[in-house]
Amino acid sequence: MQAAIYIRVSTEEQTEGYSLSAQERACRTYAKNHQWSVVKVFADEGLSGRREDRPALQSLLSEVDAGKVHAVIVHKLDRLARNLRFTLQIIEGFGRRGIAFVSVTENIDLTTPFGWAAFQIQGVFAELYSRNLSFETAKGLTEKAQSGRWVGPVPLGYTRDENGSLIPSEDAEAVRQIFQMYVTGHYSYTDIADRLNAQGWRAREWRTGKRHLFGRESVRWILKNRAYIGFVSSGGKEYTGKHEALITQELWRATHAIREGRTVKGGKVVTQRGGGVLSGILFCFRCGKPMWYHSSGSTMYYRCAGRDHRTCDAPMTRVDRIEEGVLDVFRMLRLPRDWQQEVVRRAQALLQDQGNAPQIDRAAVEEQLRRLGLVYADGLIGADEYQRRRNALRAQLLAVPETPAQPNLEEAAKLLSSMAALMGAATLVERRQLVRQIFSHLYAEKTELKAITPTGLYMPLVGVISGWFGVADGTRTHNNLNHNQALCH
């Protein structure tokens, strides 16, 4: 049996009973007693069991998917996860792939109803522990903030002393310059970022501490952070801190007044709530980064996120012009009624191979894999027999891919042909929904729509129409979601 060991310890659990070495010893002892070969140990250190994005856990699941291990051993169920839903998801995935799962200290037998019930009860208590720990941690952080001590990542301009208290760092001068420049009213966020970068100052990523160029957002974040006038916060409440303020209350009020004056015009907020019609699906054609909804005076733009990080110099795109470009595409995709039938016929031909694929009961095959793994774990069959039968079952799943439900291409073609009219009569929210039905990604440069990625339902229709008639001038169809890959006409 080729087994993998997964071990984990959070920051609060750095004790001998939970240490990584203690867990690994127990798991290796189990493997040795059952004559299993440990092929790899996956360890996550200082990470909560409620996190699903743990690097070592994700690596383990990838190894399982690749068929490189036959069994997974953990010291205790809560090492795997402290979230019942996620725990069940992982274990059920093991079962579908015929992977044996062992919890050393709890000796849970998932082949019996009582064993399965005990497993779920253990999962409930693991999640209860985690939730209670979060509650107690939050309570402790609130008490810490109430006493004036800093909670959370250290803001730029500060560092911690040997007692963990905030003290000014060498970056404090950069923070003061930001406020002093902004209060003059002559500098934008971007202007300030450029001047700081030219002087050699660098912003700091709050999670990793990595240094990078100042950008618009890093300056904006500093200007709205009340830590610089001596406050701390926790749970949405603010308290007077014990650390030294970097700027005066008067300077804060003056800069805040300018920020409000630039955000609000004529008593009304300039930006629309929720962004523009294309927010979330519009990307920069030069670098592939998202484009943000942005106001400049009375004109609305989409702005490449790379501009703020100084990684892209693409000009801003006017909202009215690019949204009109999307309408132009819809107009080009509109077909006369007598042509719709031929377009649908050709789109169906693109899906025919999948539609003609033979069908199998995937759930039944996955259940056979799960039971096969349990039989092997109990020693009832040998390794050669297990691998032969497992490979045969997996071959069935690989030979016949899952067939997606066939889209209603006739209805989709009708909607596509009426989209321009619908967009003209729709509200802002409705226009967002309509565009997202047809496109998952749109790529713009200046005021031009350069490339499009239709959604799965409309990919065959738009592909046939664009290949048959061509789309709007200069617009191409993206054949995948990777900006760096080829575009096809």
The pLDDT of residue 462 = 65
What is each CA distance from 68 to 50, 71, 97, 248, 361, in whole angstroms? 26, 10, 11, 61, 25
Q: What is the pLDDT along the chain (489 residues), one digit of tens a residue?
A: 789 999 998 765 554 445 788 888 888 988 888 888 999 999 988 888 778 888 899 889 888 888 888 889 998 888 888 776 787 788 878 878 888 888 887 766 554 565 566 666 665 666 666 566 566 666 777 888 888 888 888 899 999 888 878 999 999 999 999 999 998 888 888 889 989 999 999 998 876 778 888 988 889 899 999 999 999 988 778 899 999 999 999 999 999 888 877 765 443 333 344 568 888 888 888 888 888 887 776 788 888 888 776 778 888 889 888 888 888 877 776 665 655 565 556 555 655 544 444 556 666 777 677 677 666 665 667 777 777 777 777 666 655 544 444 445 566 666 666 777 777 777 877 788 878 877 888 898 888 888 888 776 666 666 655 554 444 334 444 433 333 332 332
Residues in the chain: 489
d(CA 178, CA 157): 11
The pLDDT of residue 215 = 86
Q: Give which of 116, 132, 8 is closest to 58, Cα–Cα.
A: 8
The pLDDT of residue 404 = 43
- Taking a C-beta distance cutoff of 8 angstroms, is the pair 72, 31 a contact? no
Residue 407 tokens, joined: 């889209």
Q: Which domains does the chain have, with CATH numbers?
A: 2-133 (3.40.50.1390), 158-269 (3.90.1750.20), 273-357+403-489 (no CATH)
